[in-house]
Amino acid sequence: MVGRGISHVGLAIFNPASFPTQWVLVLSAHELFQGKVMCSTVWMSVNGWQEIWMECDNSPASFNRAATFAGVIHIAVLTQPMEFVHSEIKNNGIVSAKQANPAYTDQYVLQALRRIGDRRFGPSSLLSREKELNEGLRSRIPLLNRYPHTSSSFPVASLSQDGVRFGKSQWR
């Protein structure tokens, strides 16, 4: 479903060799996270932990080419366009060294999702229940890992539906 006033939020999963699984927050106008996609995570720089946003070309598969991309977990339909949600998250500064340790990408994503829920961009009852959301996301990761992506497609699981669908990616 693609609509002017809605967007979709998800979690892209990357498995870097010899490192913990990387969680990447993804926003898209398309429920299969293809076309224009915004990706966000945290990483360590010389200035400490930083929130990084970038536009992913055609799908989240292009975000981290150094890691194995497992796929995306569709979390929720949001009531605002992706650009607005991205702007609100970025401008309100989700990452804070004074809050929960942002060193872990899973904590960053859960913090961002809670912010989206607090701003009422989506089903706040789901997005605000961090423990339940965390358990739901972790239960879907093994499902993604069973369906390897190809250069033209990747698996998309959902928190609200069973099974896996496939998004299209166009690698350059």
pLDDT value at residue 103: 53
Q: Which region among 56-60, 72-76, 97-101, 152-156 has the lowest average model confidence (pLDDT)?
A: 97-101
Residue 66: the pLDDT is 79
**72 compared with 3, residue with greater pLDDT:** 72
116 domain-assigned? yes
Structural domains in the chain (count): 1
E strands present in the chain: 7-15, 22-28, 37-45, 48-56, 68-78, 153-158, 164-168
Instruction: Please give the mean pLDDT across all residues of the chain.
Output: 81
Q: Look at residue 112 in the predicted model and tell me its pLDDT.
A: 84
Of the ranges 6-15, 18-27, 59-68, which is most confident?
Answer: 6-15
pLDDT confidence band for 137 (50 / 70 / 90): very high
- Sign for the pseudo-dihedral over CA of 95, 97, 100, 102: positive
**Residue 40 placed within a domain:** yes
Give the domain extent around 143. Answer: 7-168
Residue 96 has pLDDT above 60, yes or no: no
Planar angle of CA 29, 160, 115, nearest 5 degrees: 60
Q: Which of 44, 154, 33 is nearest to 108 (CA)?
A: 44
Of residues 92 and 159, the one with the higher pLDDT is 159
52-56, 69-73, 115-119: least confidently modelled range: 115-119
In a domain, 1, yes or no: no
Tell me what pLDDT residue 1 has.
Answer: 46
